[in-house]
Amino acid sequence: MANRAAKKQEPRKGEAHPRGSTTPLEWAIAALGAMLLAALLLYLAYFAVSYRETAPAASVEALSVAPAGAGYLVRYRVVNEANGTAAGLQVIGQLRRGDETIEEREAVIDYLPPFSAREGGFYFSQDPGSYELVLSLGGYSEP
């Protein structure tokens, strides 16, 4: 670590950085930094103004059904279309026949960020093709 004594060493030879001179190259990089900062602020301001509501709006859909091991795997995708995060979001998958629930599986998504999607799957022992596959969402908490 440099200390105040070390700071007082002799200037190195060829230290080509004279007083008050930020080189054009450095200004160019600085301009990129300024653009990044400005873009970030504008982007966040746009979100803050456009989306006052901060409750998540999630929906679930099945992606695929395929045999897996001794049973079947139903892959799902949960999409959030609002500017709010759901934490600990419950996803529920059921195989039904009429009013009767044959099998029920549950999964938890740790975090579903704003305008984002998360994927997962349910393992069923029965063939989902022979029943009605119902995917639904349970509760979540605000992070």
Partner 1 sequence: MKASDRHGADRHFFVGLARAFAGALIFAMPLLMTMEMWQIGFYMGDVKLALLALVSFPLLVGLSRYSGFEPTYSLGDDVADALVAIFVGAVMATGVLWLFEVVGPETSPREAVGKIALQTVPAAIGATLARGQLHGARPESTEPDQEPGFAGELFLMGVGALFLGLNVAPTEEPILLSYMMGPWHQIALAAASILLMHGFVYAVEFPGQPRPMEGATFLSLLLRYTITGYVLVLGICIYLLWTFGRTSGLALEEIISAGIVLGFPASIGAAAARLIL
The contact set with partner 1 (CB under 8 A) reads 1-12, 14-23, 25-27, 29-34, 36-37, 40-41, 43-45, 47-48, 54, 83, 85, 87, 111, 113-117, 143
CB of 53 to partner 1, least distance (A): 12
Q: Which residues of 129-138 are buried (b: 16+ CB within 10 A; e: fewer)?
A: eebebebebe
CB of 14 to partner 1, least distance (A): 6
* Residue closer to partner 1, measured from CB, 42 or 134: 42
Q: Which residues of 40-58 are buried (b: 16+ CB within 10 A; e: fewer)?
A: eeeeeeeeeeeeeeeebeb
* Residue closer to partner 1, measured from CB, 54 or 59: 54
Q: Is the dihedral of CA 75, 81, 87, 93 positive or negative?
A: negative
Six-digit token pair at 139? 């509760």
96 Cβ neighbours under 8 A, 6+ residues apart: 102, 131, 132, 134
CB of 59 to partner 1, least distance (A): 15
* Residue closer to partner 1, measured from CB, 43 or 125: 43
CB of 65 to partner 1, least distance (A): 22
* Residue closer to partner 1, measured from CB, 90 or 116: 116
**Cβ(143)–Cβ(85) below 8 Å:** yes
